[in-house]
Amino acid sequence: MSLAEWASLEYGACVMGHADRNAREAIIAQDIGRAVDRPYGEAACGDQKRITAYNYFMESGQKKTSFDGILSGPVECTWRRGLGAGLMRIHQDGTDISLNGLRMAEGLGDAGSNQTGGRFRGLHLHAGLAVDGQNRCLGIAGAVLLDPERTAPEDMISAEQTNLEERMRQIWIRMARRCEEYAAYMPDTLVVAVGERECDFSGYHYAVSQLAHVKSVVRACRDRNLSDDPRTLFTFVSDQETAGTVKIGIARQSALSGSTAEKEMDAVRALMNVRFCTVRIAPPPEMNDADPLALHCVAAVEDGSAKPGGGERIAWILLTTCSVNSFEDAVAVVEHYASRWKLKKWHRVLKHGCQVEALSCGSRESLDRMLAFRVSEASRIMRALDLGCPDGDASLEAVFPEVEMMVLSALAKKDGPEN
């Protein structure tokens, strides 16, 4: 589909407070999509009118044109696509964005260290990428920008929670609850929030267990004590009998880079031995009056006899609120987690394809807006690649369900403002 059609739909749904702002967003997104790795002046083909409007949009004091506001349309469209997906996995995780090249000093924090051990200033992006049951990208389901040295946005975390680890934990929980708000209107779609080891803490497990419309799968990293057995979690699971073996598509680390490595990652399938059981974990300290929480646990360990050349085997222990009453149920949980490589691929597209670490701007507000457009653009690129159309030439029907086609048709009949 054309960039103009995509931009009209995605940004027509934004909560901007004025139709002209939505139209301007669509024009900016369309230009960025043409040359996402270049300065906007080049992307706009030197059109001075567009460049002036872009600069005004980026530096304006309008609260509606915030990071959240710009992404509100793309997020809404992502969840609409989930209506007809049957299965919608939300892969949630964070990544640090290095912005050492920016001259601006305000609004950035110590975001981590690079491969040589040097510290860098930047931001932390926590995002949820939605994929369907065939692991095709549906779009961005939600995102939060966090300055590691400052408090998080007021709507996410209270100002008293200044500890970085606690702030990050609260973001995991808040994102899952936002998924619940959308999933409540999707009775025919199974929504599964998939988390990495960073969200393996009791507070998260208890929070997601209370969600009525979202299931959770988390990779365990803590060998915690159990409430009804003297053994620890990892020992208890390893003592269970193997329920069966299955080949699962996974992403292995590769020494190669670029598209060649990604194709190899897509193709790798591993033979996994699967076990499952039910465990009961203790509540977090702040919920010491709560009863122990029952969770299903699935262990998937790569079969060493089937691994050529030996080497380290894959071993996952997954805690889930999904029902696991059979080997087939356990395999479904493993597949939910195994598809997480898609989010890692999206991170690469965002950083290397959309060049978010090479942005140039004069304020934190304009930086947030630039990042929002590129978060959406990275999802568009992923979606186009999944449909086998890297140049964006997929038919509208292949990209959008009927309800979105109706919206797009209505938008196409309206004349937009002059450039």
Q: What is the pLDDT of residues 334-389, one digit of tens each?
A: 999 999 989 999 999 999 888 888 888 778 888 888 899 999 999 998 988 887 75
Asked if residue 146 lies in contact with residue 99, where contact means CB atoms within 8 angstroms, the answer is no
Element (H, E) at 41: helix 40-43
Question: Residue 8's pLDDT is what?
Answer: 76
Domain 220-324 CATH (choose: 1.10.340.70, 3.40.50.920, 3.30.465.10, 3.90.350.10): 3.90.350.10
The three-class DSSP label of residue 328 is helix
Distances (CA, A) of 190 to 63, 399, 415: 34, 20, 38
Question: 25 near 70, Cβ under 8 Å?
Answer: yes
* One-letter amino acid for residue 337 of the chain: Y
Q: Give Cα separations from 83 to 15, 110, 158, 212, 410 (angstroms).
A: 21, 40, 33, 17, 20
Residue 311: partners with Cβ closer than 8 Å, 6 or more residues away: none
Instruction: Write out pLDDT tens, residues 93-109.
Output: 988 888 876 765 566 76
Q: In this structure, what token pair is assigned to residue 365?
A: 């507000």
Residue 129 neighbours by CB distance under 10 Å:
29
Under a CB-based contact definition with an 8 Å cutoff, are residues 351 and 319 in contact?
no
Cβ–Cβ under 8 Å, residues 79 and 141: yes
pLDDT of residue 13: 63
Residue 34 has what pLDDT?
79
CA–CA dist 324, 279 (Å, integer):
12
Q: What is the mean pLDDT of residues 238-257?
A: 77
On average, the pLDDT of the chain sits at 80
Looking at residue 126, its amino acid is H
* CB distance 193 to 92 below 8 Å: yes
Q: Give the angle subtended at the CA of 276 by the CAs of 271 and 279, to the nearest 5°.
A: 145
Could you tell me the residue ranges of all domains in the chain? 220-324
User: Residue 350: which of 27, 112, 146, 94 has the closest Cα?
Assistant: 94
pLDDT band at 391 (very low <50, low <70, confident <90, very high): very low
Which helix (DSSP H) or strand (DSSP E) does residue 244 occupy? strand 244-249
CA–CA distance, 317 with 308 (Å, rounded to integer): 23
Distance CA 49, CA 300 (A): 57
- Element (DSSP H or E) covering residue 87: strand 87-98
Q: What is the pLDDT of residues 33-78, one digit of tens each?
A: 877 878 888 888 888 988 888 887 888 767 777 888 889 889 999 9
Residue owning tokens 């807006």: 369
Instruction: Tell me the average pLDDT across 129-135.
Output: 93
> Which pTM value belongs to this model?
0.84
Residue 134, SS3 per DSSP: coil
Q: Is beta strand 315-320 parallel, antiparallel or unpaired with respect to 293-302?
A: antiparallel
Does position 398 have pLDDT exceeding 70, yes or no? no
What's the average model confidence in pLDDT over 173-201? Answer: 94
Q: How far apart are CA 91 and CA 10, in angstroms?
A: 21
For residue 56, give both structure tokens.
């005004």
Q: Tell whether the model's pLDDT for residue 148 goes beyond 90.
A: no
Higher pLDDT, 110 or 139: 139
Rg (CA), the chain: 22
